[in-house]
Structure 1
Amino acid sequence: MLFLHQLKVLLWKNYILKKRSPFVLVFELIIPLVLFLVMTAIRKTQQASFHPQTNYTSNFLDHTYRATPFPSTGVFSILQSFCPKTAPSNEQGFSIFPNGTSTDMLMTIDRISRTNPFFTQNFSMFDIDSLPDMYETLIDRPAFVYDSLSNLTFSFTKNLTTLCLFFVTQLNYTNEECEHLLNNSVINVHQIPNVSPHLFRDSQKSSQSDNEDNFDFIYYYSLLQTSFQPEEFLNVTQLIGKIISINSFVNLTNDEVYLLAKMIKTTVFHPKTLKEVFCSVEKFDLLFQLNSTAINKTDLQERLCNMTNEQYQNLSNILMNSISDDELIDILHLEHVQLSSMLFQLDDYVSQLEKYAMFEQGLKDLYELAKLLRTNSCYINEQNNTEASPSAPLPPAVALSGNVESVAMNKLKNKKGFFPLWLGMQEAICGVKPKTNFDSDQPIGDDHLPDLAELGISDNQQRQLGLLFYVLYGNSLVLYAPNSTLIDGVISKANSTFILLDTITKYAYEWRNVSNVLKTYFLANGTEKKVDSLRRMKKFVEEFGPLLHLSSMNKLVQILKNLSDPSIDNYMKQITTIDKAACSWISLISGINLNVFKGFADENDLVEYFLHRAYHDNYTVIASVVFTNVHLNDTKLPPNTIYKIRQNASLTPSTKRVRDRFWVPAPAQNGFIYYDFGFSWVQEVIDRAIIDTQVGRPVIEPGLFYQEMSYPCYTYDNFLQMIQHALPLCLTISWVYAFAMLTQSIVYEKEVRLKEVMKIMGLNNGVHWVAWFITIFSQTTVVMVAVTIILHFGKVLVHSNPFLIFIIFEIYALSTISLAFLVSVFYSKAKIAAACSGIIYLLTYVPCMYISIREDLAQDTIPKWAKMLASLFSTSAFGMGAKYIAFYENIGTGIQFDNIRYSPVEGDHFTCFETVLFMLLDTLIHLILMWYIENVYPGTYGIPKKWYFPFTISYWTGEIYVESNWIKKLKKTNLYRWIICRKRHMSYTFHWSTSSLNQMTNDFTRNQDYFENDEHFNDQIIGVRLINLTKIFDKKKFAVQNLSLELREGEILSFLGHNGAGKTTTMSILTGLIPATSGTATIYDQDINIDMDKIRKNLGWCPQHNVLFEKLTVEEHLLFFSKLKLVQSKEMKKMIENMLFDVGLTSKRNATVSTLSGGMKRKLSVAMAFVGDAKTIILDEPTAGVDPYARRAIWELLLKLKQGRTILLSSHHMDEADVLGDRIAIISNGQLKCCGTSLFLKTTFGEGYVLTLIKKGREMTTF
């Protein structure tokens, strides 16, 4: 009943303290929830996703199910594997790119490499210099026509009536004006070549007329359609064919002459020709001559220009009928046309023009190809450029560690030339436009590199691309052995994968040479004039294209029609674009070792090179190939060629097990390591090379892809995949703060001596720990309920049984609280305890982390005994249990009562249930160790027990011996009392020798006058007896030395002494705060070394410094300690009222201690010492720091309550000792100097009252 009563009192006290600190309480409740709330927030963004059964034709775009290329599929297939994963796939799972132009791009590259004139030896830009001269001869000077038109005029004498009718009806002229106009008008036929240069050109004026030429293809095409009948159209076609055919040397027939005249007449009088002449003042004046002033020529020109299209057509018909074909033949002498001078040069012209067309087409092809590449990735001319040189290799130690992924990603991000090239090629290769708006003309700097995600490259693709760049730019090597002629041939074929890269690079360097020649030519003097001539050729073809197309000269027509508009600016633009593209490619390809294989005589030499020379030679070895059944002198491969690939073990899957020990419902997550780190690449190219060697020819098809098999429907939870290893750590770390604060709170009570004060006042030590446990466990239970709710309804542990999760968490709370109890017994300072306890808590989790690392990363199988040993640390046991919970949650079943006894990991014989059992075992171990260590090593305050105390009967029974009757009689004799009281100067090491006894006898004889004879006190009860009490600190200083003294019931013994005399030390020994070095003391015949728990039931203590609960009120302090003293409820209220009145604290009964002054706190400490009717009262300077009024009140209280009590009071003040002390004991340097009543001491040491009179001197008069 006593235990339960005290437990109830302590729980009440703890409740009040928690209630008075709401913010601290809320903080302690919330802190453990923070990580779980964060985890729940992350869970909201990472929901589980259902994946239906996936096959190759599914719309589920996952790289796992796509065919992934090997080197034999070609460079473009490998590049397409880095395209955005939005591309559809065919029935076999191969990605298709319907909008991509990679096929056209490859064909362009192939055509350029085979036929481009810039990469052949028989082309020179100076071959096109003769074209303008040939053009001038063939086209610009049709002399047979031009000479015939010289000085020729023509008047309107035919169809005069028809023309007048047109002018009257359409142009609003009168008949008289019309006749006058036509009779006085002359057409200057010889000016027709100037005003209509489309057929009749003059080389001297062509440059001026070209700018005025606006005839287009539709005009001439319409001419042929509207001016001839079908049979005439055929004849005209044949005629034109004869005229310009290089094989035609015969004269024109009569019909062909008439058709030619009709064509010329139709061209000259075409409505568009008329409109061009009438609307140009200059051309109108040249062609039309008016010999009369009666008609305003300007007005006539304006009327003619403003005619409608229909009016133009009517006038055209009238004019064509106004001159007959015979007249035109006579005027132009068409019957005598001679083409032989032109036909002889036509063959040369076509040949040279074909070369020019080849040049233009080659330049155009390169330009179109260059436009696919971004032009801002040229870095080979930068100063201090590091891209052109191979990257520094990884040291062997780093390479062997397998930590290459981070190095690979850095290498990718540092290769600035890749980004613009990929942006340019992405649309052609992938068929999608880049997601970024990156400016192709803006140079790339380190401060604005585009993000790889902006290029449509996923995280997995970035990883693979980084590894590819690591191989390409890491100055990588694949070592092989033996390096015989036979194997060298095989390796040469294996290295053919880089042929395309090498070919493009060769063309890029060759173009840079050609580019310099082209720039020099186009910037030379006179080139502009030649290019203008070429432009006129192009214009001629555009104007007469339909006529030429209908001729037999299909080759010439095709060449002329395909020519672009010649322009130096256009040519320079194309050359500059191609230059930048070539430079960009060279910049990107620089630093790549295109010969990645290096041979050795045997495997030993290969290993030696890797270990000791590769790094110094600036090479990074990624793998090695050793042919085991091929020797140096072999000339033919064996039918079954055997070779092995050696690679860093950390870059390949572990071979310690066939499959993962832990199954999750998803395809393999790490099944592509062989591919990603190049093992399969090396194997594929070597296999291909061996096949090619065996069959004696290249085996190009089929290209090799790898593809994972389809997988049934499943639910993939990426969140659980991420946290299955982090969940145990989060669950454990979340309690670090609570653990540290719990330890600090326990140690704080010990540091400020609250715990010892309560024990002195009668508190059982077991009750103290149980009260703490119930308080903290109740608080922790609230947190565990909240954590369980958060994890379950936050869908972190949605599949697991929430009640079972709560039970596991509660058991962990038990072990954590017990561990905090254990840690607290090692510390006496709260702050240090808080800091160190957090570290200790985390250190106990280290075994769990070690096991997790060995299992997850090293793929080791940890034996059960090792896990059991680690589980002796409760945090490690909980961590492993949480890991099992995460595993079950990831599977989709969650932890349940029916599977808690089984492990979800294959071959694992440890279970979550066993971790729970170990946490219970850890709780028991913690409590036992805490109980033992606290008793053996109580810390700064407390009396330690012997290390073997659990094996003594006295500890468990509480009885040491039964005192015999003769011993009780001996204690009542005067001799016993004299020996006890006088043996005050015994040395710490007592030697029972004759000299020692004689010395003690002399000492007693010499000092016995300082101690009052106490024979008249024989009838009083001895309350406290000190027997040779000695205390030594640091094995040097005597704080108390052989102190022997008796205190009687009903009296107050005043203990006087200077600071450091030993007063407080003596009182601390009597109250059990510190143990005595030697000697003992009894309080009401109970030994302080053995019966301290019994002594404290009737002991009241007022320490030198106030030891109070800051959050409790004055009344609550008295009530708390009264309940500890088992005061009856009926007497308690009255006793508290009297005590408050006696110490003057009635008005402060409801004030918390933190609001009291120092004097009031001192009064409360004195009052606390007297509650519960304690028989032994020890007061250590009770009036220190108290005002005189309060001091007098305390004196009165002591005098009032001393009856029936034994009171020991220490003080610095003689007046206080004189007033209160029935006897006064003076101590100095740990030794008792004298003892007796106030009167005895005054008589012994006093000299009476001395009156000193001093005669005043005679006054001296000064003048």
Structure 2
Amino acid sequence: MNFFRQVRLLLWKNWILRKRQKLRFLVELLWPLLLFLALVWLRKANPLYRQHECHFPNKAMPSAGTLPWLHGIFCNMNNPCFRSPTHGEAPGVVSNYKNSILARVYKDAQELLLETPEIHDLGRIWEELIIMTQFMETMRTNPERIAGRGIRILDILKDGETLTSFLLENVGLPDFVVYQLINAQVRPEQFAYGVPSLTLKDIACSEALLDRFIIFSSRRGLPSVHKAMCALSQDSLQRVEDALYANVDFFKLFRLLPSVLDRNSPGADLKAWGRVLSNVSQAVQKLARKPSVQDLLRVLQPFLQDGRPESLGTLVSSLSDLFCGYPEGGGSRVLSFNWYEDNNYKAFLGIDSTRKKSGYLYDNTTTPFCNALIQNLESNPLTKIAWHAVKPLLMGKILFAPDSPSVREIVKNANFTFEELERLRLLTKAWEEVGPQLWHFFQNSLQMNMIRDSLKHPTVRDFLNSQMAAEGFTAEQIINFLHNGSSRTREKGMPDFDWRNIFSAVDQVLRLLSQYLECLTLDKFEGYLDETQLTRQALYLLEENKLWAAVVFSDLEPTASSLPPHVTYKIRMDIDAVEKTNKIKDRYWDPGPRADPVDDLRYIWGGFAYLQDMIEHGIIKTQTSTEVPLGIYLQQMPYPCFVDDVFMITLNRAFPIFMVLAWIYSVSMTVKSIVLEKEMRLKEAMKNRGITNGVIWCTWFLDSFSMMAVSTLLLTALIMSLLSQVAFGFGTEYLSRYEEQGLGLQWGNIRTSPLEGDEYSFLFSINMMIFDAFLYGVLSWYLDNIFPGDYGLPQPWYFPLLESYWLGSKSPEAEKTATADEKSPESEGCVDQKTMEREKNENNSNKSEEPEKTEEKSDGQGKKDGKNKQCKHKREKEPGEQGKPKTDVQDKDEINSKEREQPEYSEILYSLYLIPN
């Protein structure tokens, strides 16, 4: 029987077995398909995200100024990514916050100021207001300075006044009395504490009170006016008072009041005030209609009404809108997916082997508010990561050595930023003293009460309404804003909003800022004699996470008073606060910018770059004795758009095992069939019928290859891929790398590696698998001959070197046996199909007789060939029936016992191999 026919027959035999095992057949075909269908479903559930190009805002260093530095830290803490170039990327431009609410309000207000030049007179109004304030303070605290001085009534009357004619004609006062009244002077110091609660009748009928309030030009004036005015009735005096208020020109009054104290004082020009305020009012109304101001009021409304935000998130969002104003909702953030390697995620999960796990220790160096705040931050896993990163900057120390005069001069110049922050803290502390005084002034001071009383007077109210009607303001609105009583005493129809709401909001912000500034350590620099002492203190501070950095000037002596031309220093920091130096780049490249603020920008947010900037400018100022006017801004390079495939990044490590699992069932079932065939002596039976090892292994290869090929073709047709799936190691990993990079495996890059400097490639992986297939084939052939099993004839370990293995045996017995085998038709295994069918039928009809005959044959054969330990086929013919093959085995006891135990199973296996033509 030729080689191909034997292969065909064995393949047919394997096909019959698979037809009988339908479940196994379906699993082998569908299992790879279902596995990859699951991956397809995961692919659809996690689609590709096309990341737009990234433009980053620049980052101000401390040399740019304290306010820009703090502004940049707050607005760039998450290093946002924008799809269009930022404002600060333009040459000569450093600000990125033109879209913030405050910046837009400032821009709109600036445009209005340019359109209304009269607003510049607000400076003069401020000066006049200060003069009036000083005059009012002098009247209250030092009235003797203006004693004997007054303002003539005639000088404060309106042009074309009617008071004189009213007194002469309607009241009937003598000319002399009217003259004395019109030319008398009013003492302003008597009104420093408000309008006295006296009627005009009380004053007119008392010479003492009349002399207290009025200075007459002659001695006869006082008794004459006293006598004439006291004789008038109460109704007549009320008419005189109304006429006086109606003829008083308040513009002249306020212009002349400061002249009582200083004759050269210009006074307050209320007409100019009115013109300026009218223009300002129109500009404010125009500004109030701007979208920027509407956004400002929307953000500040919760603070003005409630006095505090609803939550910390609301506060941060409001401050971000006010100061940053980034587009696209604050900009997107490009995340790093190498999450377990990041120390911040390990801190979130509580995995930190370098630090001691202990409870919070009370810090006696700060306030109880700060201790409660820090304990809350450290106990919350969400804020623990951020606090661990910023604590060295906020509460940490900067150590320096040596502590020499020259180094102290550098540190003094470098400490300018923290000195400004200290002044800000002192300013908030001063509010604790100024705030209550300001509240008392608006709430209960005589000046404010006098203003309230004056505004409530009908004449003053009518005057203000007539002057401010065009601007939309009323005296009632001013009175409501200055209201200091309860809401029940407020005028009807007025909103429940006054100066106290603004004061409460400002007080809340300043007190909160003062509390938080108390948590900062602004006295940061500490000097030590040498680096040894510095290192000892740094290790102690590291335990408490209170070390920002240590600066060591290596070329300066502890007593050096001057600096060399070239100053050399080093900055020593906690290794977790800066970039790791164990690698200069990622081992596996994947697309995306280095935009993670925690891992990729550690030199900035860790404080290294900030400290270097301060030290460098301190050295420059010390060496040159001049300030450097230009600050430093860092600009991160933009990054082009790319495809962000989270699915492939996640699947990258697991993809090879998925490829193995896809066909592991087929491989395992093939191995099981091969082992079962050996255990049941079927392989030896086939070899006795003339089938060689090569035919058997070739058949198994074709059988397993065909099954895998069918599933692979189904899978290929499903995913429309022109490349076969690779099942092992680096090949699949490199394939996933190309997919992760958005390139895919192409014929153009099959010879190259996705890793820089790597000579391994996908084609090399294929070649290695072909070589592995050849090597495994040689090992299978060698081991199968060395260890054929319990019933095979083992070859010596050096059998490939034997000439007899390749050319056949030269012994006479072997030749005789070979000749007999060649002559026997059974040795060729060519059996007529009809004859085999009759043998099969007869075998089925004589099942009860066959075990006995087999036992007799086995006994006889065992006695004859017991020492040879070989098996051969022999056909015996019975009368009236065809002969059938029987197997003689040396170890008859073992075979007979097995046949007695499983007679039916061996017959079934035997009948399976009765293959028809």
- TM-score class normalised by the smaller sequence: 0.5 to 0.7
Correspondence for 1:81 among 76, 89, 93:
76
Structure 1 residues 767, 548: CA separation in 2 closer, same or farther (over 3 Å shift)?
same
Deviations 1:346-392 (A, max 9, x none): 879999xx9xxxxxxxxxx9x979938996579xxxxxxxxxxxxxx
Structure 1 segment 548-947 matched on structure 2, within 5 A: 564-567=482-485, 573-574=501-502, 576-578=504-506, 580-582=508-510, 584-585=512-513, 588-589=516-517, 591-610=519-538, 612-616=539-543, 618-621=544-547, 623-647=549-573, 672=601, 674-699=603-628, 701-708=629-636, 716-719=642-645, 723=648, 727=652, 729-749=653-673, 752=676, 756-763=680-687, 764-785=692-713, 803=722, 805-806=723-724, 809=725, 812=726, 875-879=728-732, 881-882=734-735, 885-886=738-739, 890=742, 892=743, 894-896=745-747, 899-903=749-753, 905-937=755-787, 945-947=795-797
Task: Give deviations 1:30-49, integer Å, cap 9, x for gaps.
Answer: 24524652574367x31557
Report the CA distance between 1:429 and its aligned residue: 0.5
CA distance in 2, matches of 1:333, 1:911: 110
Q: In structure 2, how many angstroms separate the alpha carbons of the residues matched to 1:963 and 1:903?
A: 61
1:4 paired residue number: 4
Distance change >3 Å, CA 248–CA 13, structure 1 → 2: farther
CA offsets 1:1128-1171 (integer angstroms, 9 cap, x no match): 3232333334434445xxxxxxxxxxxxxxxxxxx9xx999999
Change (3 A) 1:681 1:740: same
Structure 2 CA distance, aligned partners of 1:1177 and 1:373? 111
Q: Residue deviations 1:735-782, cap 9 Å, x none?
A: 232454244313433665565432132154444433332233233334
Secondary structure at 1:762's aligned position in 2? helix
Q: Secondary structure at the match of 1:480?
A: strand
Tell me the amino acid that sits aligned with residue 239 of structure 2. L
Which residue of 2 is the match for residue 473 of structure 1? 391
Q: Is the 8 A contact 1:482 1:626 kept in 2?
A: yes
* Mapping of residues 351-362 of structure 1, within 5 Å: none
Greater percentage in helix: 2
On the 8 A contact 1:423/1:434 being kept in 2, the answer is no
SS in 2 for 1:101: helix
- Give the equivalent residue in structure 2 for 1:426: 320
In the alignment, what sits opposite 1:1132? 836
Distance 1:697 1:674 in 2: 28
2:409 is matched with which residue? Answer: 489
Distance 2:60 2:402 in 1: 29
3-state SS of the aligned residue for 1:908? coil
Q: Is the 8 A contact 2:735 2:744 kept in 1?
A: no
**Are the aligned partners of 1:538 and 1:564 in contact in 2 as well (CA < 8 Å)?**
no
- Aligned counterpart, 2:162: 258
Deviations 1:466-492 (A, max 9, x none): 987544324444443323233233234
- Alignment check: 8 A CA contact 2:58 2:635 kept: yes
Question: What is the one-letter code of the residue matched to 1:882?
Answer: L
Aligned AA (2:521): N
Which of 46, 49, 52 does residue 48 from structure 2 map onto?
46
Shift, 1:566, TM fit:
3.0
**2:59–2:76: 8 Å Cα contact kept in structure 1?**
yes
Amino acid at match of 2:101: G
Structure 2: which amino acid aligns with 1:425?
L
CA contact (8 A) 1:37 1:790 kept: no
The answer as to whether partners of 1:531 and 1:568 remain within 8 angstroms in 2 is: no
RMSD over aligned Cα atoms: 6.3
1:572 & 1:2 partners in 2: Cα distance? 110
Report the residue type matching 1:77 in the other structure. Answer: G
Distance in 1 between the 2:433 and 2:701 partners? 88
Give the CA deviation at 1:686: 1.8
Whichever residue aligns with residue 489 of structure 1, its letter is E
1:607 is displaced (CA, Å) by 4.2
Could you tell me how far apart the structure 2 residues matched to 1:1169 and 1:930 are?
A: 39
Supply the AA of the counterpart residue of 1:749: S
Residue 371 of structure 1: aligned partner: 303
**1:1062-1073 superposed matches below 5 A:** none
1:12–1:1177: structure 2 CA closer, same or farther, 3 Å change rule? farther
Structure 1 residue matching 2:551: 3-state secondary structure: strand
Q: Partner letter of residue 332 of structure 1?
A: R
Once the two structures are TM-superposed, the CA of residue 922 in structure 1 deviates from its matched residue by: 1.9
Tell me the equivalent position of 2:59. Answer: 68
Deviation at 1:262, TM superposition (A): 8.7
Alpha-carbon distance in 2 for matches of 1:1204, 1:14:
22
Question: Which protein is bigger by CA-based radius of gyration?
Answer: 1
Instruction: List per-residue Cα deviations over 1:267-308 (Å, max 9, x = no partner).
Output: xxxxxxxxxxxxxxxxxxxxxxxxxxxxxxxxxxxxxxxxxx
Deviations 1:634-692, CA, capped at 9 Å, x for gaps: 22333333323345678766889999899989877787554354432222222222223
User: By how many angstroms is 1:914 displaced?
Assistant: 2.7
8 Å CA contact 1:531, 1:567 repeated in 2: no
CA distance in 1, matches of 2:447, 2:403: 59
* Alpha-carbon shift at residue 549 of structure 1 (Å): 6.6
Between the aligned partners of 1:622 and 1:664, the Cα distance in structure 2 is 33
Deviation sequence 1:31-82 (CA, Å, 0-9, x none): 4524652574367x31557x7xxxxxxxx6x334x43322334312332335
SS at match of 1:778: helix
Aligned to 1:681, what secondary structure does the other structure show?
A: helix
Q: What's the counterpart of residue 192 of structure 2?
A: none
Q: How high is the TM-score relative to the length of structure 2? A: 0.56
In structure 2, relative to structure 1, the CA distance for the partners of 1:941 and 1:626 (3 Å cut) is farther
Name the aligned partner's letter for residue 622 of structure 2. Answer: T
Verify the 8 A CA contact 2:677 2:683 in the aligned structure 1: no
Q: Distance in 2 between matches of 1:698 and 1:534?
A: 49
Which residue of 2 is the match for residue 101 of structure 1? 102
1:367-406 paired onto structure 2 within 5 Å: 371=303
Of structures 1 and 2, the one scoring higher in RCO (CA 8 A, sep 6+) is: 2
CA distance in structure 1 between the partners assigned to 2:244 and 2:461 by the alignment: 23
1:105 touches 1:428 (CA, 8 Å); kept in 2?
A: no
3-state secondary structure, aligned to 1:717 = strand
Is contact 1:257–1:334 with CA below 8 Å preserved after alignment? no
Distance 1:100 1:679 in 2: 32
How far, CA to CA, are the matches of 2:895 and 2:591 in structure 1? 81
Matched position secondary structure for 1:636: coil
The 2-side partners of 1:254 and 1:36 are apart by 94
Asked if the contact 2:396–2:545 (Cα under 8 Å) also holds between the matched residues in 1, the reply is: yes
Kindly, what percent of the aligned residue pairs are identical?
20
Unaligned runs of 5+ in 2: 110-132, 141-148, 170-234, 263-267, 269-296, 345-382, 469-474, 488-497, 862-877, 904-917
Measured in 2, the distance between the counterparts of 1:374 and 1:1198 equals 117
Any idea what SS the aligned residue of 2:101 has? coil
| Residue 544 of structure 1: how far off its partner (Å) | 4.2
Task: Please give the residue correspondences for 1:1020-1059 in structure 2 after superposition, counting only pairs within 5 Å.
Answer: none
